[in-house]
Structure 1
Amino acid sequence: MNTSDEVRTFTVAPDDDGVRLDRWFKRHLPQIGFGTVSKWARTGQIRVDGKRAKPDDRLVAGQQLRVPPGGDAPHKKPREKPALSEAEISQAKDMVITETESAIVLNKPPGLATQGGTGTKTHVDGLLDAFAPGEDEPRPRLVHRLDKDTSGVLLIARTPGSAAHFSKRFSGRSAKKVYWALVVGVPEVHEGVIEAPLAKQPGSGGEKMHVDHEGGQPAKTKYRVVEKAGQKAAWLELEPMTGRTHQLRVHCAAMGNPIVGDGKYGGKDAFLTGSISRKMHLHARRLIIGSPEGGKLDVTAELPEHFAASMEQLGFDIGLSNAEPIRDDPPPKSREEKKQAARLHAKQYRKSRKGERRGRRDATTAKPKPKPKPKAKR
């Protein structure tokens, strides 16, 4: 926006309902600095519905905001949008699952990073200008992330207001995310909760996490076995209750069942023999989140080719799961699961009593010590 010599009047949009006055300026008039906004508020030059306002006042949709002339910083050039190729625009559009007034929901393929970094030139964040080709259109923004090799539902906010709304749902844990994973082996308990605090692994440069019961941050994951292929592999539903880096991958490996293809945390044991793909088999299948327009945004992402092929080769029936959020209280166990739990309990009990029995046996076989001879009386 160019420097203005006239008073400007804006109507607070529904997307800005509840935002602070200073945040409104940062969103819509970023060339006007906080110091100028504070000065205008202090001298009564900013008016909301004709009344004086403070920088931390919350705006309400429909209010009239009066902005005095000037205050712009012409030396701050507006962000130049990078020119995307036709192939990049097509790549971005092909990922779209659905669009609403507040969000664009993508099905991120495996191998595509969410954000850029050292040596990473192609990423989702760099493709978002495909959804805002106009000069005055707000650039969509990321509100959560997926690992490079994880596929599935990725929500993009269209505006700053919707970004704040969705970010609050993610941080407040009201958003429900259900992942599908193929893991090596079968968990002994078919439904439960993994609680293991996580921290950055020393010496990895922050690129790898590990379980750290002393200095780690709390991390909690619900899981359920949907189906198993003998004892070779299992198909799990995973629901993260916290959002730690690589949480699902570390938790599955810590349980003794690394995600298929996750050599970083499972080593060579993370790969199945035969024609099963060596790519990682972790997919954000479903996202349920409150929408700024009201109601719930409920989106499901189709599996990538390698994951779908592995499901078919292992004989898994994709119709067995709707990726429903896992209940807080596990359902009653089947007779077979009760037997399995009883056998596991008996095994652990026998193991704990083994040392006790050995102690008793040693006590019975030990030769009794000779009694001391009584001293002769004089």
Structure 2
Amino acid sequence: MEHVQRFTFDRSRMPERLDRFLAEALPELSRSQLKRLIDEGRVTLNNAAVKASAKLKGGEEIAITLPEPVPTETLSQDIPLTVLYEDSQLIVIDKPAGMVVHPAPGHSQGTLVNALLYHCQDLSGIGGELRPGIVHRLDKDTSGVMVATKTDEAHQHLAQQFKDHSINRRYVALVHGLLPSTKGTVDKPIGRHPTQRKKMSTGSRNGRQAVTHWKVLQVYEEDRLSLVELRLETGRTHQIRVHLADMLHPVLADPVYGGNRIKTLKDPELRRLATSLDRQALHARLLGFIHPVSGEYLDSSSAVPADMQSIIDYLQNKYSAASAV
């Protein structure tokens, strides 16, 4: 049975292309899937067929008709997964650093979706395909807890929770510098960087609201590093990394937003450990939400992986020894 989803483009928003709005509103659909639906006339703007490049200015009614699920063309692959929770509606996994979430040019295999297609034999269809529903993402080199859905019902329920900012998302990060207080909030819009298209920025003209709450867990004063817990209200691309960099406290070893800050570490062993990390020191440690069927709160947590934990352990041992002298 076909399914119709409807959206209203809020008048308070900045003008935006239709395809970009739909990519945000329907994160479970890839850009190529959205393009195909638009080209097939399955997307209407105020009840009329429309092009992907149509400009939304405010108040438009958008409808997208999703067809009966069909087998996906994406390859299923027997890739090991660490499953934290699973039932007939959803699956929660501990994503390792280095794994891309969704197939894309240059990453057609070895992704989380490829792995889930092999692991999940009870998919009922998401967005017109028999595939897992991706309701949020983690960057390739960010590790930690993620949820994917198996049914349209579960997908829509969880997607609404993300939209309502009611999901409990907790991260831990090692960051450069000593933060100005023990806790705080960054409330700055994030959008595409005006000149560097692979980066996000708080200086974008078309930024969307982004709110990150932070709390200092540990300070390593001599090495000018801090261990920080972060809680997301919104989930913009690279949000934590952009907000921390904007504070001049980039995530340790962040190859995009951290510059060459590793070189400023004076401790040679610490510098070696940070260099060998080969990714940003950021981990999604907890994800909590209301189960779409039972209505009960469910959360899953993940221990900091060994590569990042080795740096924390080194710092803890170093500062414990110093305080004992």
- Does TM, normalized by the shorter one, top 0.5? yes
Change in CA separation of 1:100 and 1:265 when aligned onto 2, cut-off 3 Å? same
CA contact (8 A) 1:128 1:141 kept: no
Change in CA separation of 1:159 and 1:77 when aligned onto 2, cut-off 3 Å? closer
Provide the secondary structure at the position in 2 that maps to 1:265: coil
Counterpart for residue 295 of structure 2:
294
Q: CA deviation at 1:83?
A: 5.7
Q: CA deviation at 1:301?
A: 1.3
Answer with 1 or 2: which has the greater Rg.
Answer: 1
Q: CA deviation at 1:97?
A: 1.3
CA distance in 1, matches of 2:122, 2:167: 31
TM-score after normalising by structure 2: 0.68
Per-residue displacement from partner, 1:19-69 (whole Å, max 9, x unpaired)? xx8528xxxxxxxx999xxxxxxxxxxxxxxxxxxxx9xxxxxxxxxxxxx
Q: CA deviation at 1:140?
A: 2.4
CA distance in 2, matches of 1:215, 1:173: 20
Counterpart for residue 217 of structure 1:
208
Q: CA deviation at 1:278?
A: 3.6
Provide the secondary structure at the position in 2 that maps to 1:313: helix
Counterpart for residue 339 of structure 1:
none
Q: Percent identity?
A: 29
Per-residue displacement from partner, 1:99-149 (whole Å, max 9, x unpaired)? 123211010001111112221132111222113347978532211111111
CA distance in 2, matches of 1:185, 1:22: 53
Per-residue displacement from partner, 1:327-355 (whole Å, max 9, x unpaired)? xxxxxxxxxxxxxxxxxxxxxxxxxxxxx
* 1:238-317 equivalent positions in 2, closer than 5 A: 238-270=230-262, 272=265, 273-276=271-274, 277-292=277-292, 293-315=294-316
Provide the secondary structure at the position in 2 that maps to 1:260: coil
Task: Write the letter of the residue equivalent to 1:309.
Answer: S
Q: CA deviation at 1:81?
A: 6.1
Counterpart for residue 186 of structure 2:
194
Q: Does 1:168 align with 2:157?
A: no
* 1:97-116 equivalent positions in 2, closer than 5 A: 97-116=84-103
Counterpart for residue 139 of structure 2:
147
TM-score after normalising by structure 1: 0.59
* 1:73-84 equivalent positions in 2, closer than 5 A: 78-79=70-71, 84=76
Provide the secondary structure at the position in 1 that maps to 2:316: coil
Counterpart for residue 127 of structure 1:
115
Counterpart for residue 52 of structure 2:
none
Q: CA deviation at 1:222?
A: 0.4
CA contact (8 A) 1:81 1:129 kept: no
Counterpart for residue 118 of structure 1:
105
Change in CA separation of 1:188 and 1:316 when aligned onto 2, cut-off 3 Å? farther
- Of 176, 182, 186, the residue aligned with 1:184 is 176
Aligned residues: 246
Change in CA separation of 1:316 and 1:255 when aligned onto 2, cut-off 3 Å? farther
Per-residue displacement from partner, 1:173-219 (whole Å, max 9, x unpaired)? 111101010101111212011122222112323x1011227543222
Q: Which runs of 5+ in 2 are unaligned?
A: 5-39, 43-62, 266-270, 319-325
Q: CA deviation at 1:220?
A: 1.3
Please identify which structure carries the higher strand content: 2
